[in-house]
Every structure is written in structure tokens, then in C-alpha cells.
Amino acid sequence: MMLPFNRPRSLFSHISSHLILLSLLTVLAVGIPAILYIQFETEKQIWAQIEQGAWTSHALFELKEFELANNAKLVAERPSLLELIQLDDQLALLSYLSTLQDGIQSDSITICTQAGKILVETHHFEDLNLCMRQNFLTIVQNPTEEAWLFRTHPILIKEQAVGTAIVGKKIDDRFAAAMQTDIGLDYSILKDGNFLATSLDSERSALHEVDIETEALDSQTDNNSFKFTIDDKPYYAIAFPVKSDGFTGVLALPMEEVLKSSRKQIMLMLAGIFTVLCISIFLSSLIAHRISRPLEELSSQAIRSRSDFIKTPISTDSKIKELIELADAYEHARLDLSQKVSQLQLEQDWIEHLLEAIAEGILTLDSNNKILFFSPAAERITGWKKEEVLHNPVDDYFKLVEKDGVFSENLPSPGEKYFLNVELALKRQATLSISGAEFFPSQASDSQIALVFRDVTEEVAINRLLGQFLSNVAHEFRTPLSALSASVELLEDQFPDFNSGEVMELIRSQKLGVLGLETLIDNLLESSSIEARRFRVTPRSFDIEEIISDVEQTLAPLLEKHGQHLIVKIPLDLPLVYGDPRRTVQVLINLLSNAIKYGPENSEITLQAYERDRKVRVLISDHGPGISPEYRQEIFTRFNLPRTENERAKPGAGLGLSVVKAIVEAQGGEVGVEDNPGSGACFWFTMRLAKSK
């Protein structure tokens, strides 16, 4: 049986126990002497710092004296001061010295006469005859004890002394604080045990309780170094004489932070002992961790790069060759993939810009007729947003109109084109030109259908309207030409058998045909010039009654043919108008021709003109079916034909009223239509007066 203490131990426990013992011996052998040595060296350096501060304070005090002497010389040699002394203007001199005192940063300036009397002073000192003394450091009762340092300089006018300039510097806490800033140690000046100036952060009552001079004399050192306590705060200090006037200077270093630092060092040493013991225990695990750390870092980087593999660089700071090669290979693979992705992104952006530039809409459907892709142009044409339609059935958004079945059942075969009327967003109906193709995406097992469509609603409407227009124009030409041809044949074959009345009847028929052709041709020409933006008018002053008479004679055969009567109502004092007479005749012929065409047989047509609001208003009224209110906004556009059940009033070319509107507005007038009281329609237009041009 093996005893417990004879059992073999593991390498980890063997090394750990020896390391702990070695660490403990090392700490005891090195730590305790180190603590004692640190304390000794710290105190030695502190006293050296204080002694060095004493030498520095002597130099700084002499520098203050030198600066004060320079200020006294500066004051004594000021030209302005000499002028004021000669003028004997004490108020101006006092104001000047107060300003100068602030400029040289002194606490008092006194000007004495050559006789030893004070001429002017910026600070009054009781029982202290400054004029009778030279450079000195003294105590002033004002009303408490204050230490002042004075420096003098003679005032010369033409190299003759006329007085003395005395500049004073108060030796107070502010002075001590400045010295403390320059030296780095607390600075104090005492006289007979009283603190006159100090940078120590304590109440005066606490300072008076400390007998600094006694403690300095009782010091066992040769350089008046000593220790004292104020407000439970320990100080290391040194005392030294300031000049030869019985003043004592004291430099003090607060030891509270130093002692805390010393205690902290001891605690750190103890903590170090504990740390070394802990390090010895976990040394083996730290070595293993140092070997495995690069692999762990690579693993962590790989895990972090799952979400953003391309943008996350891979690196290692290991010195192991195999790990460096592994990280480099991983980084090269990442960079190659990043370059490929960037190229794909550029191609995708180019394709998206290309799709946005294509006017035709593009969509793709899967085998279940659900939308997989919806281009920007498809959004513009249909009014549906991509987010609304994706992955939804196409039949929910493209609904057939005037045809049975659903949209997906009427798709064109590859290479074919269909025209379908569908209902889109907001129930808008449109005619789409659709072509399709079937393809097999690389990532999909089923085929997909790509549809390219274009909104041809306006094109279909224009083609339909153009066909109707050509049909009407052909009819408009055929009717008068047929009548002319028949009349010519009758005259050619039977002229000797006709009497004069019959010949006049045939000539009147020919005249009506020519009038209709002329009107149609004029409207076609004017409509063409309006469309080409070449339409012009040549306005001038004229009498509208004269052209109405010409129009009446021109349309007389047409009125007679239908048994209609034209009633003209024009006042005798109607003023001249300003416009194009030939174009105005065209307006009247178009409006009266429509009134004759749509008015019943044997009815009256009224044409009246009168002045209103500095314009001439012309009205043409008939007793036809009239114009419905909802159609009045469209009647003056091209190719809009009136809807009527009158068999005689067959639709024409649909140009007359659009030409009327263009002529009237080009002449600065307005045109419109309203109900004729009783029945029928009343077309009106206005013209400017000649005198308002």
C-alpha cells in the first residue's frame, strides 16, 4: 500500500509547488529590502528636493527684487511722468501712476521730492516715511501687519535729480502662491513667528499655533530641516533667512500624499507577492494559452465574419509559420471573393440602370403565375409598386376587360405579340402590347416567363381616331364631288333640253358643292398649320357688318336648299373691330355651316352682334338638338365629333370648331357654346374693338 505522500504527483502540481516556493523566497529576499530601500531613498530625495527649493527661492526672490528695481527705473524715466511733475498736476499725476501701476503689476508707486517729501502716492502707508529710505523689506501696520518690498530710483530732469520714484510689492499670500508655483513647494515668510505670507492651505489660526522658528532651531540637522504638522497634515520643511531684516523663509512639502504613496507601495508589494503566487499556479495554463491563442483568434475572426465575410479582414500576430500561412491563405480567398462580388455589384447596378432607362415594362412569372420581378417601367405603366405585387398572382393586378378568362390564360407564345385591354391600379383601363419569352434560371428547377409590355392606349385611340377621320374626310370629299359630277353630266348630256331655271338649279348645286369643298380644304390647311405651329393672323380694323353680308350671300344657296332663314341682328352704331377679315369669314362660315347642318328644316338661324365690356360679341343660334354640358369642354378640340341622332347631320372631319377656336384666340378673343333659350345651341365669340389695339 502506497502512502499518500509517496504517491507520484503530476508534472503540473510538481512545477506549481516549486514555483510557489521559489516565488515566496524571492519575494521575502527581494521585497522587504526593496521596501526599506525605497523608503530610505524616498526620504533622501524629499530632503534633497527641499534643499534645492531653498536655493531656488533665493534666486527667485532676487529676481523679484531685480524686476521691482527695473520697474522703479521704468517709472522714474517715463517722459510723461517728467512732464506731469513739471506741470505740478497732482490729480493727473495720480491718475497716470494708477494706470502705470496696473501695467507694471506692482502694488504701490510713490513719488518723492528732492527734499524728501511725498509728492504723490498710489498707496498710503501710516507712520512709514518712504522718502527717507532706500531699498528695503519692512513690516507695515496697515492696519494689520504686512510685509512690503520697496525699490527706489532717482528722477532726473536734464541730468539733475528732482525726486525719487519708489515702487512697492506687497509680500502676501498671492506673492507666496506665485513662488509656490515657480518652486513647486509651499512657500511662507515669517517675522517673529507670525505668518506674513504663505501658500499653505490652512486657516491663519491654525498657522499661529505652529512655532516654526522654534522647531527649526530644535532640529537635529545642520541645515534647519524639520518636520511639523498643521491640521493633522504632516510637512517636511526647511527654514532660511530672507535678506537681513529678520525675516524667515520656510519651504514645506506636504507629506500626506507621500505617506499614502509609501503605504500604497507596501500594499502593492504585498499584492505582488500574491500575484506571483497566483502566476506560479497558473503558469502552465498561461503557456498553453499562449500557444493556442492564435488559433483561437482565427476561430473568433471566422465566427465574426459569418455575417459579413467580405468586409472582415483576417490576420494573426502569431510567430508560428503554419498559422501565418493559414491566415494568409484565408485572407487571399476573402480578397478574391470580394473582387468578384464587387464586379457582380457593378454589373447588377448597370442592369438596374438599364432597366430604369427602358420605357417598356418587364415582369417575370414563375410556374404558378406569381410575379418574381417587376421593373421600374412596369411600376410607372401600371401604377402598382414592386413591393405590392412581388410573389403575388399576376391575375390579381392585370384584369382583362371586354374578354373572358384571366390574364395568365391569354399570354402570348414566345416570339408573338398580343394586344390586351386590362384594368390596372385605380381601376384605370389601358391597352397593353405584350410579348413573352420562356427561360430557365440557373438557380431554379422550373421555367419562368418573362413579359415585356407597353401601354399603347393612346396609340390605339389615335389610330382609331385617324381611321375615322380619314373616313369622314373621304365622305366629305365624295359627297360634293358626286353632286358636281352628276350636275356636269346632266349639263353635258341634256343642256339643250333644260330651261334657264333648271340650268340655274344645276349651277346652284355645283356652287354648294364647291363651297363645301372650299370649307373642308380651308379647315384642313388651317389645322395643318396649327399643328405645325405656323398658324398666323393678319389683323386690321374692319367693319364686321360687311363680312357678315358676304358670308350671308355665300351661304344663301345652302340656306335655301334646307329652307332655313338667317336672321341678322346688328345695331347701326356697332364699332369697328380689330382682327383678320379673311379668318373671321372662315369662323362665321364654320359656325353657320354647323348651324345649318344640325338645325331642322324650315327653321330660323339667328346671327347677332353687339358691344359689351369694350368687345364685340357675335352669337349664332339654331334650334337643333343642342350640345350636352359634359361635351362642351371637348367640342373645340380636333377630331371630336358631335353626337346627334339627326340623319341629315352626318359627322364631318372634326376640324371646324378647333380651327374656329384657334382663329378667335389668335385675334385676342374668346369662344364658347351655351344653350339657346327654347332649344338648340348658341355659339359665340368675341373680338377686340379697333380703338383698343
Radius of gyration of the chain (CA): 60
Q: Of 145, 233, 128, which is closest to residue 197 (Cα–Cα)?
A: 145
d(CA 245, CA 65): 15
d(CA 145, CA 166): 20
Instruction: Report the length, in residues, of the chain.
Output: 693
Residue with cell 506665485: 178
Query: Could you tell me which residues are beta bridge partners of residue 689?
Result: 577
d(CA 676, CA 625): 10
Which helix (H) or strand (E) segment holds residue 455: the answer is strand 448-455
Residue type present at position 183: I
Domain with residue 103: its CATH number is 3.30.450.20
Residues 603 and 682 reside in one and the same domain: yes
**Helix runs in 500-543, H state only:** 500-531
d(CA 463, CA 466): 5
Q: Of 177, 166, 175, 173, which is closest to residue 108 (Cα–Cα)?
A: 166
Residues 343 and 368 reside in one and the same domain: no
Residues 540 and 657 reside in one and the same domain: yes
- Do 537 and 664 form a contact (C-beta atoms < 8 A)? no
Residues 381 and 338 reside in one and the same domain: no
- Of 411, 438, 455, the residue at which a domain comes to its end is 455
Beta-carbon contacts of residue 238 (< 8 Å; ≥ 6 apart): 50, 51, 53, 54, 223, 224, 225, 226, 250, 251
The predicted pLDDT at position 482 comes to: 52
Q: pLDDT averaged over consecutive 10-residue blocks of the chain (693 residues)?
A: 50 50 68 75 82 86 87 87 82 88 88 86 80 74 76 85 87 87 86 81 67 56 72 83 77 81 77 72 60 61 58 66 70 75 76 70 86 86 87 87 82 80 85 79 68 80 59 52 57 63 62 58 57 69 88 80 89 90 86 88 92 92 86 71 50 68 88 85 92 56
Residue 370 lies in a domain: yes
Residue with cell 520714484: 165
Residue 483 lies in a domain: no
The predicted pLDDT at position 608 comes to: 93
d(CA 131, CA 115): 9
Residue type present at position 576: L
Residue 672 lies in a domain: yes
d(CA 529, CA 77): 102
Residues 536 and 627 reside in one and the same domain: yes
SS3 444: coil
Residues 389 and 429 reside in one and the same domain: yes
SS3 178: helix
690 DSSP assignment:
G
Residue 179 lies in a domain: no
Residue 506 lies in a domain: no
- Do 53 and 183 form a contact (C-beta atoms < 8 A)? yes
Residue with cell 534643499: 51
Domain with residue 585: its CATH number is 3.30.565.10
The predicted pLDDT at position 51 comes to: 86
- Of 171, 203, 238, the residue at which a domain comes to its end is 171
SS3 105: coil
Beta-carbon contacts of residue 652 (< 8 Å; ≥ 6 apart): 472, 476, 520, 597, 641
Residue 261 burial class via C-beta count within 10 angstroms: exposed 0-12, middle 13-18, buried 19 and up: middle
d(CA 456, CA 420): 10
Which helix (H) or strand (E) segment holds residue 25: the answer is helix 11-76
Residues 402 and 540 reside in one and the same domain: no
Residue 267 lies in a domain: no
Compute φ and ψ for 190, nearest 5 degrees.
-120, 155
Residue with cell 349639263: 491
Which helix (H) or strand (E) segment holds residue 102: the answer is helix 90-104
Residues 330 and 410 reside in one and the same domain: no
List, as one string, the DSSP characters of 337-360: HHHHHHHHHHHHHHHHHHHHH-SS
Q: What is the number of domains present in the chain?
A: 4
The predicted pLDDT at position 223 comes to: 61
CA dihedral 659, 665, 669, 675 (to 10 degrees): 50
Which three cell numbers mark 16? 506549481
Q: Of 420, 455, 454, 447, which is closest to residue 364 (Cα–Cα)?
A: 447
Range of the domain at 430: 358-455
Residues 569 and 647 reside in one and the same domain: yes
Residue 88 lies in a domain: yes
Residue 92 lies in a domain: yes
- Do 146 and 196 form a contact (C-beta atoms < 8 A)? yes
Long-range residue pairs from 668-675, CB within 8 A, at least 24 positions apart, any chain: 668/578, 669/579, 669/615, 671/636, 672/632, 673/627, 673/632, 673/635, 675/626
Residues 431 and 312 reside in one and the same domain: no
Residues 336 and 409 reside in one and the same domain: no
Distances (CA, A) of 58 to 374, 396, 501: 91, 101, 151
Residues 624 and 534 reside in one and the same domain: yes
Which three cell numbers mark 116? 524728501
- Of 314, 330, 349, the residue at which a domain comes to its end is 349
